[in-house]
């Protein structure tokens, strides 16, 4: 059960598409840094992902980028919760 960490913008990288190809039951996705922009760019796609996987957004990174409203299907977390997720999951994969 890895935690997939998306840190690149969907405008600059196919990281989310590549990540989706490797997802399996119990995985989760965390959006950080410029990966936050995936929330605006791929909303319907993320809603579908949220049906089977937990989705998280690093709140301080979103706020830095002027994003303060998050979809209901995404859980906003802080740095402390980020650390807890890395402990909870067996591995972390950065995209």
pTM above 0.85, yes or no: yes
The Cα–Cα gap between 43 and 87 comes to 28
Q: What is the mean pLDDT of residues 23-49?
A: 90
- Classify residue 38 by its DSSP letter: H
| pLDDT tens, position by position, 80-90 | 999 999 999 99
Domains in the chain, number:
1
List the domain range (segments joined by +) for residue 75. 2-94
Please report the pLDDT score of residue 42 as a whole number. Answer: 66
* CATH label of the domain that carries residue 49: 3.40.1260.10
What six digits make up the tokens of 30? 């965390």
| pLDDT tens, position by position, 37-77 | 998 876 788 899 999 999 999 999 999 999 988 889 999 99
Please report the pLDDT score of residue 55 as a whole number. Answer: 97
Please report the pLDDT score of residue 24 as a whole number. Answer: 96
For residue 8, how far is the Cα from the chain centroid?
10
């Amino acid at each position: 059960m890895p935690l997939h960490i998306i840190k690149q913008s969907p405008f600059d990288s196919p990281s989310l598409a590549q990540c989706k190809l490797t997802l399996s039951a119990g995985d989760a996705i965390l959006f950080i840094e410029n990966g936050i922009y995936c929330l605006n760019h791929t909303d319907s796609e993320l809603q579908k992902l949220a049906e089977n996987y937990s989705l998280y957004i690093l709140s301080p990174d979103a706020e830095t980028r002027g994003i303060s409203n998050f979809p209901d299907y995404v859980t906003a977390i802080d740095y402390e919760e980020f650390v807890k997720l890395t402990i909870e999951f067996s591995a972390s994969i950065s995209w």
